[in-house]
Amino acid sequence: MATRMDLDSELVHESIDHPHVRSDLCLITKGQPFRGRVYSHRRRNNRQVTSPVSAATISASLRREVLVFFEGIERFRQRLAADETLCGISIYVTDPQVTEAVADSVDFLWIDLEHAAMGIEAMRGHLLAARSRRCPVVVRTASSDIASIKPILDAGAPGIVVPQVTSAAEVQHVVDACRYPPQGKRGFGPFTPTDYGRQEEGYVERANDAVFVAVMIECVEAVDAIDEIVAIDGLDSIVIGPMDLSGS
């Protein structure tokens, strides 16, 4: 994509190359209406043919670009199922350039919201950087509360790790909070993952299938309930927290 801005006329011009669509878009700022020309280029009888393309056709052609929210985590799941050993890195700082710098050198990223001085706003920057590199991401939440889980998923996190669970009932609550009905009880508000409402068709099913849910075993109560916990449908993984577990 090439972009040019004329500061005097405040005109933004974008040329977008796509396997199916080539477009020249002009956008006038200060609330002026969008004006653009979109053309499809194809050959007919060895002759180049140019014709207008509807907005619906563009949306369909670019739909696969929106699904990058799930590409990384689905590949991550497939590699785990194939018994691969994956190496990731924990992100404790707020600067998303760190994620951009390391994403191509690791198998996954672990963004920490439990111990790090980081909020949802900084996490969103890391998610954007990771998606641009198709890198799988899991986010460690602060707790198992819905208020902790929901904004992380709605911001586009494809996977979560919930710390300090103590029982199978709590883990079931976590699994339900990560999936939409009828599989779970997640409320609907995924503005970022649905491209701000443009790509809602099929989203619920894809999100329910793709979301990666893990919990941390860090206390004796969780150890005592481990057989019940790992039997919960929809739980993808457990993570051992040796430091907290040693003091439990």
Catalytic residues: 115
Task: Name the nearest CA neighbour of 38 among 51, 27, 20.
Answer: 51
Sheet holding 137-140, edge to edge: 88-91, 108-112, 137-140, 159-165, 212-217, 237-240
Four-point Cα dihedral 154, 158, 163, 165, nearest 10: 80
What is the rounded CA–CA span in Å between residue 167 and residue 4?
56
Amino acid at 90: S
Which residues are within 8 A (CB) of 111 and not within 5 positions of it... i.e. 6 or more apart?
Answer: 90, 91, 118, 123, 126, 127, 137, 138, 139, 140, 157
Q: Which helix (H) or strand (E) holds 11?
A: strand 11-17
3-state secondary structure 48-112: EEEEECCHHHHHHHHHHHHCHHHHHHHHHHHHHHCCCCCCEEEECCCCHHHHHHHHHHCCEEEEE
Handedness of CA 141, 145, 147, 149 (dihedral sign): positive
